[in-house]
């Protein structure tokens, strides 16, 4: 008898194989180790007020956050993880405030490095490091594209114990833009503890708003006192509805921050088709709520304020309320005292107005080292100018006595060291002017009396009532409202602000940023016409139109803005104007502080969607479905062309669609389909089906483009479809021993390249040892068969079951591997005739179909179909006396995909058994 090749080798693998994320190798695949990644998480654009005289006088922000996310995607905890901000040249006007190196003691391992779009919570295996960047208030601080020395080059590095150093891309830079002050962005409230202690980790909630619908680029970030360190961020936006973020920067449209790119900083934020949009509609914002998690580094006092800055309408803007009113929250950090040390801090929430409810926060904290032991009492005597409304607090019982205007709140406690408890006091001012109010706290055995009282003084103004309306008409007759227009036409917006207050309002602010689809006229520049006695100071920067208004009671200001619709404009052009009261004032009716006038452009606008439902299995045909839709307000005209250049790994088979004429260019692997059919507004063409054969297991993305048909908007002419990587298993079977003689060395098999794959462990003389032809054998000889396996596809191989039939005229040798380590789950004392090696460890399995992962199925026994597989499978069907003498079956589970030779260790191994010649 001569042993030849192996016709009975079968492999059962689940048909449901999931796409794997990036698997990072380690130095020694047999030993668990951490693996760090780093990703930028902030906008490279920072800035100063665009009016140099105002900027030099202290107007606007000059401090911003720049940061990166460091994640541990290894399989062991990383220790002493540090991140450093490194300046590498350029501007001398940018410096750091505070530490340039931040650290955390440890970072657990986890599977992900950065959720797409920054949605959802920050992964537990990731930590964000934010650094405070400060811009000098100097005319030379502004950046230009022409002068690299005006731009600060930088990167952020990260490392840990026993690890190398990784960095963010090192060709990145900070670009100091000219920011326009706008009142359309504003902070509504800041809440959190006003008293904190060194070492505490606390949270502050900032609520604010932007223009309706939000912006293409939005940073919502705090300016922190020096004793604060920002740890993490959690944000929700009302537009798009339900959208979230876990960093301070929201990239809605796909910003290009690579200076070497031709798309860099050219005031077209969404023009690089290779960068996907971050949010639906390519805008984000509206009502914004952000929770900052902060660590207290040292004792001190300071204030938190919040910057809301954006890009829209070809310019950059910041909120005019930085550091004022509701956007200023005082915080004091204390070092802990000894014993019991209660303190109270009274702070005002927002701005107070006569006749409108306002709130105080009474923050009671224990700065001591011992818990309180008796009743805690807070007393607040309201002045005559404040009427009591309510007082509430978790664990507090509050009672107000009108006769002496005294509020008394009690808590049984205890209040533990370095903790606090808040009371919310709601009052209604009944007059204007300056109001002073003091709260007091008391408890038994308080060791420090100097911090038991707190006073707040505020100015109460009368509430204002401003309203704005807006219409759009054709330029020649602006009083005639329109709802649609055409490219290259002229239109005029009319904005009217009315002071419905009973008194004059000095310093109201109007903001109107015209959409970039319209170019505001410079020959017919915006004008403002106030009614008698009112005044208006108009400022126009590109498409940014703002006005400072001094309005008489009942007075108005009418602003007219004329512009030209771009030749490439499509869809609906939105426009919103907003009016805000002067600092320190509250508008009693916010529902009429914004007005919109949208206009539809009569033009076609083609989009293309590319999808698939097939599984795209290796070496099989699958199809893409391409759907062209006209989302414009006019029908298409002329020929429409769809092109699709197939990526490597996909081989063209056919392309067709009703009404389409399709061809294929083999030289550049491009499918081209054309149609002259008219696509009506808001309608789709018949779909195109492109069929390909998949020749590579690697993940790939295929992009199609549509053009023609009178399409004016080329920013949405791309449609991409990602094809997940698929698993690929290579099997190499060898005879590794006959009787007691091992068969060694490497034999290159003919008719297959599986044994030549690059990711087999090196050297193959060891990892694929054995022979293909064993020569002549006799009755009673024992042959050892070894089936080597390697997972080296584009995804992990899941639910893998390997099955090999014992050859005819041979019988499985019982207990051949009794000296090999016992695999868990098998029947105690049973013979072990199967051996495997996975992840660098050899184990043996019983012959029985029991609790371990291996077993021997006698002739005719049914071999189960793997999880996710479909019947019939090769092994169950072949386990007959005509094909073999029973089946050796091993459940290998999930085999990670190989990323390099022998990496990871769980991507390769072998199954081994012995059979005696009958």
Q: What single string gives the DSSP state of each residue in 818-886?
A: TTSPBPTTSPTT--EEEEEEETTEEEEEESSSSSSSEEEEPTTPPPPPPTT--S--HHHHH-STTT-S-
Distance CA 630, CA 75 (A): 49
Q: What is the CA radius of gyration of the chain?
A: 36
Quick check: do 336-460 and 606-723 share a fold?
Answer: yes
Asked if 358 contacts 350 with a C-beta cutoff of 8 angstroms, the reply is yes
Q: Write b or e for each residue in 640-675: b if 16 or more Cβ atoms lie within 10 A of its Cβ, otherwise e.
A: bebbbebeebbebeebebeebebebeeeebebbbeb
pLDDT of 15 strictly over 70: no
DSSP characters for 400-461? EETTTTEEEEEE-----TT-EEEEEEEEEE-S-EEEEEEEEEE-TTBS--TTSEEEEEEEEB
Between 261-270, 302-311, 347-356, 514-523, the lowest mean confidence (pLDDT) is in 261-270
Domain ranges of the chain: 2-20+727-917, 36-180, 182-330, 336-460, 466-601, 606-723
Centre a 10 Å sphere on the Cβ of residue 758 and count the other Cβ atoms it contains.
9
Distance CA 366, CA 375 (A): 13
What is the predicted pLDDT for the residue at 267? 61
| pLDDT tens digit sequence for 455-501 | 999 989 889 999 999 999 876 554 567 888 999 999 999 999 999 99
Asked if 378 contacts 408 with a C-beta cutoff of 8 angstroms, the reply is yes
Q: What is the DSSP-derived secondary structure letter of residue 252?
A: S
What is the predicted pLDDT for the residue at 252? 87
pLDDT of 190 strictly over 60: yes
Is 336-460 in CATH node 2.60.40.740? Answer: yes
Between 238-242, 268-272, 278-282, 701-705, the lowest mean confidence (pLDDT) is in 268-272
What is the predicted pLDDT for the residue at 146? 85
Distance CA 760, CA 11 (A): 19
Distance CA 499, CA 230 (A): 41
Which positions ≥6 away from 46 have C-beta within 8 Å? 64, 66, 133, 135, 174, 175, 176, 177
| pLDDT tens digit sequence for 452-461 | 999 999 989 8
pLDDT of 29 strictly over 60: no
What is the predicted pLDDT for the residue at 641? 98
Residues in the chain: 918
The helix or strand, by DSSP H or E, that contains position 53, with its residue range, turns out to be helix 52-56
What is the predicted pLDDT for the residue at 312? 83
| pLDDT tens digit sequence for 620-650 | 999 999 999 999 999 999 999 999 999 999 9
* 152-176 average pLDDT score: 93
pLDDT of 43 strictly over 70: yes
Asked if 657 contacts 686 with a C-beta cutoff of 8 angstroms, the reply is yes
Q: What is the DSSP-derived secondary structure letter of residue 181?
A: E
Is 466-601 in CATH node 3.40.50.720? Answer: no
DSSP characters for 320-347? TTTTSGGG-EEEEEE---SSB-EEEEEE
* 230-235 average pLDDT score: 93
Pairwise pLDDT comparison (686 vs 2), residue with the higher score: 686
DSSP characters for 732-799? EEEEEEETTEE--S----SS--GGG-TTSPSPHHHHT-SBS--EE--TT-EEEEEEEEEE-SSS-EEE
* pTM of the predicted model as reported, rounded to 2 decimal places: 0.57
Strand 887-895 vs strand 854-857: parallel, antiparallel, or unpaired?
A: antiparallel
Distance CA 6, CA 512 (A): 78
Nearest to 60 by CA among 257, 327, 294: 327
Q: What CATH number matches the domain at 606-723, 3.10.20.90, 2.60.40.740, 3.40.50.150, 3.40.190.170?
A: 2.60.40.740
pLDDT of 357 strictly over 80: yes
Is 182-330 in CATH node 3.30.30? Answer: no
Is 36-180 in CATH node 1.20.1050.10? Answer: no
DSSP characters for 674-736? EE-----TTEEPPPEEEEEEE---S-EEEEEEEEETT----TT-EEEEEE-----EEEEEEEE
pLDDT of 551 strictly over 90: yes
* 48-68 average pLDDT score: 89
Centre a 10 Å sphere on the Cβ of residue 806 and count the other Cβ atoms it contains.
25
């Amino acid at each position: 008898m001569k042993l030849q090749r192996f016709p009975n080798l079968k492999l059962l693998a689940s048909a449901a194989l999931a796409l794997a994320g990036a698997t990072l190798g380690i130095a020694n695949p047999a030993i668990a180790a951490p693996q760090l990644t780093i990703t930028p998480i902030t906008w490279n654009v920072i800035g100063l007020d665009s009016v140099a005289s105002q900027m030099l006088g202290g107007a606007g922000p000059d401090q911003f956050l720049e940061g990166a996310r460091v994640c541990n995607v290894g399989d062991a905890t990383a220790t002493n993880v540090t991140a450093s901000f490194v300046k590498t040249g350029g501007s001398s006007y940018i410096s750091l405030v505070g530490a340039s190196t931040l650290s955390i003691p440890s970072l657990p391992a986890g599977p992900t490095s950065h959720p797409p779009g920054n949605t959802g919570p920050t992964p537990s295996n990731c930590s964000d490091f934010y650094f405070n960047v400060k811009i000098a208030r100097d005319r030379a601080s502004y950046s230009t594209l022409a002068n690299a020395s005006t731009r600060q080059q930088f990167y952020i590095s990260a490392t840990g114990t026993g690890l190398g150093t990784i960095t963010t891309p090192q060709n990145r830079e900070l670009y100091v833009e000219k920011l326009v002050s706008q009142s359309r962005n504003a902070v509504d409230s800041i809440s959190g503890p006003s008293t904190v202690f060194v070492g505490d980790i606390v949270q502050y909630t900032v609520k604010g708003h932007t223009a309706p619908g939000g912006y293409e680029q939005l940073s919502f970030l705090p300016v922190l006192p020096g004793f604060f360190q920002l740890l993490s961020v959690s944000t929700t936006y009302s537009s798009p509805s339900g959208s979230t973020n876990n960093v301070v920067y929201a990239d809605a449209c796909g910003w290009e921050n690579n200076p070497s790119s031709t798309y860099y900083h050219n005031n077209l934020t969404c023009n690089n088709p290779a960068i996907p949009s971050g949010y639906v509609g390519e805008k984000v914002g509206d009502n914004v709520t952000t929770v900052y998690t902060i660590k207290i580094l040292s004792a001190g006092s300071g204030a938190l304020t919040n910057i809301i800055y954006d890009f829209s309408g070809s310019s950059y803007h910041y909120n005019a309320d930085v550091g004022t009113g509701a956007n200023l929250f005082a915080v004091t950090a204390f070092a802990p005292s000894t014993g019991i040390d209660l303190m109270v801090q009274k702070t005002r929430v927002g701005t107070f107005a006569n006749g409108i409810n306002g709130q105080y926060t009474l923050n009671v904290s224990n700065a001591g080292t011992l818990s309180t032991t008796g009743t805690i009492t807070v007393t607040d005597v309201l002045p005559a100018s404040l009427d009591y409304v309510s007082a509430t607090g978790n664990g507090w019982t509050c009672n107000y006595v009108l006769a002496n205007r005294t509020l008394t709140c009690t808590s049984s406690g205890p209040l533990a060291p370095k903790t606090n408890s808040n009371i919310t006091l709601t009052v209604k001012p009944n007059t204007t002017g300056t109001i002073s109010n003091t709260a007091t706290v008391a408890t038994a055995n308080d060791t420090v009396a100097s911090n038991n009282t707190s006073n707040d003084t505020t100015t109460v103004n009368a509430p204002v009532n401003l309203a704005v309306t807006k219409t759009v008409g054709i330029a020649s007759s602006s009083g005639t409202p329109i709802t649609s227009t055409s490219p290259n036409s002229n239109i005029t917006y009319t904005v009217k602000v009315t002071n419905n207050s009973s008194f004059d309002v000095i310093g109201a602010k109007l903001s109107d940023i015209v959409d970039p689809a319209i170019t505001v006229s410079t020959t017919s520049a915006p004008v403002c016409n106030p009614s008698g006695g009112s005044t208006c100071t108009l400022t126009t920067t590109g498409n940014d139109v703002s006005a400072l208004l001094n309005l008489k009671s009942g007075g108005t200001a009418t602003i007219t803005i004329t512009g030209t619709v771009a030749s490439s404009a499509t869809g609906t052009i939105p426009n919103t104007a907003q009016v805000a009261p002067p600092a320190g004032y509250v508008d009693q009716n916010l529902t009429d502080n914004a007005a919109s006038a949208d206009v539809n452009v009569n033009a076609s606008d083609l989009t293309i969607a590319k999808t698939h439902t097939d599984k795209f299995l290796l070496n099989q045909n699958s199809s893409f479905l391409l759907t062209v839709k006209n989302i414009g307000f006019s029908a298409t005209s002329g020929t429409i062309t769809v092109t699709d250049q197939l990526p490597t790994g996909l081989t063209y088979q056919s392309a067709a669609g009703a009404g389409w004429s399709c061809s294929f260019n083999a030289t550049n692997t491009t499918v081209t389909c054309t149609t002259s059919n008219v696509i009506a507004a808001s309608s789709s063409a018949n779909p195109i089906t492109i069929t390909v054969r998949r020749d590579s297991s690697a993940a790939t993305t295929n992009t199609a483009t549509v053009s023609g048909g009178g399409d004016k908007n080329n920013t949405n002419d791309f449609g991409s479809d990602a094809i997940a990587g698929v698993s690929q298993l290579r099997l190499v079977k060898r005879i590794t021993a006959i009787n007691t003689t091992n068969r060694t060395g490497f034999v290159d098999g003919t008719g297959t390249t599986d044994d030549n794959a690059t990711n087999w462990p090196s050297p193959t003389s060891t990892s694929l040892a054995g022979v293909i032809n064993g020569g002549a054998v006799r009755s009673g000889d024992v042959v050892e068969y070894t089936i080597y396996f390697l997972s080296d596809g584009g995804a992990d191989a899941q639910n893998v079951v390997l099955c090999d039939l014992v050859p005819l005229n041979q019988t499985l040798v019982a207990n051949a591997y009794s000296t090999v380590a016992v695999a868990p789950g098998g029947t105690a004392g049973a013979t072990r005739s199967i051996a495997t090696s996975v992840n660098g460890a050899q184990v043996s399995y019983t012959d029985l179909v029991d609790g371990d992962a291996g077993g021997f199925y006698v002739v005719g026994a049914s071999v189960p179909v793997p999880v996710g597989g479909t019947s019939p499978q090769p092994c169950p069907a072949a386990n007959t006396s005509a094909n073999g003498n029973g089946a050796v079956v091993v459940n290998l589970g999930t085999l990670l995909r190989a990323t390099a030779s022998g990496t990871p260790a769980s991507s390769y191994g072998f199954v081994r058994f012995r059979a005696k010649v009958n």
